[in-house]
Amino acid sequence: MDILKVNLKHAGYINKKNTIYDLQFTIKQGEMVGLIGPNGAGKSTTIKAIVGLLPEVIGEVSFVGENKKYAYIPEQPILYDKLTLWEHLELVAAAYELNTSQFYKRVEELLVHFRLAQYKHHLPVTFSKGMQQKLMIIIGLLIQPAVYIIDEPFVGLDPRATMQFIQLLEEEKCTGASMLLSTHQLDIAEKICDSLILINEGKIIIQGNLEQIRAKCAMPQESLFNCFNYLLEQEI
């Protein structure tokens, strides 16, 4: 079942060149989709268009099903200067009316999982980028949305935290959650994504699973990295 439908004729910033054109794709329930492309290709613009953060959007984005909640985890963490880590989590619990006992149990597990328990009464503005990113990830996981929309999720995370996050995403997939991940980490995308969307200069170059992309490139044994470079070379 399709859980997210994207049909964008045009989206971008007023009077700027950072735009995307004719993007059409769907994400199925329980599917992890990788959004890949070179710098400036339009990955972040696509994500911002989907979550309603662009001033200029022509097209339609539809979240399908009873649970239309989504969690957006941006590349640059967005946090309040004067709230502690714990106060951020309590704010989320209040805003989403989370069950109190489940909230406390889940949040303690996640804080230990990401090694942030000792910092829960500290101000996140004093944290490293990686620690701030972990907090944004915890917030997203607490919401338990139908769709996770994540921009460069592995930037700033050390290898252990990256693996832990991937494991948690896999667990969420097992419950039926879907994911759209924008990433430059092609080796990770190749291993964890069910399908991939390659965009360049604001347009989709190819979409499908790894085998379909390999077939399109006539490179049946090659890595996603090599297919990625081949496809971009054909665009030049």
DSSP codes joined into one string, 128-166: -HHHHHHHHHHHHHHH--SEEEEESTTTT--HHHHHHHH
Confidence check: pLDDT of 103 > 90: yes
Q: Distance of alpha carbon 24 from its chain centroid, rounded?
A: 17
Contacts of 26 by beta carbon, 8 Å cutoff, 6+ apart = 2, 4, 5, 6
- The domains of the chain are located at 1-69+145-153+178-236
The percentage of the chain sitting over the pLDDT mark of 70, rounded to a whole number, equals: 98
In tens, the pLDDT along 50-91 reads: 999 998 899 999 999 888 899 999 999 999 999 999 999 999
Domain range 1-69+145-153+178-236, CATH architecture: 3-Layer(aba) Sandwich (3.40)
* Local structure of residue 117 (DSSP, 8 states): G
What was the pLDDT predicted at 15?
Answer: 73
Assign 235 a pLDDT band (cuts: 50, 70, 90).
Answer: confident
Question: Does residue 236 register a pLDDT over 60?
Answer: no
Reply yes or no on whether the pLDDT at 176 is more than 80.
yes
Q: Average per-residue pLDDT in the chain?
A: 93
Q: What is the mean pLDDT of residues 133-155?
A: 93
Check residue 99 and give its pLDDT: 92
Amino acid at 182: S
The predicted structure's pLDDT at residue 14: 77
Q: Give me the pLDDT at residue 17, please.
A: 65
120 has pLDDT over 80: yes
230, 217 Cβ separation under 8 angstroms: yes
3-state secondary structure at position 29: coil
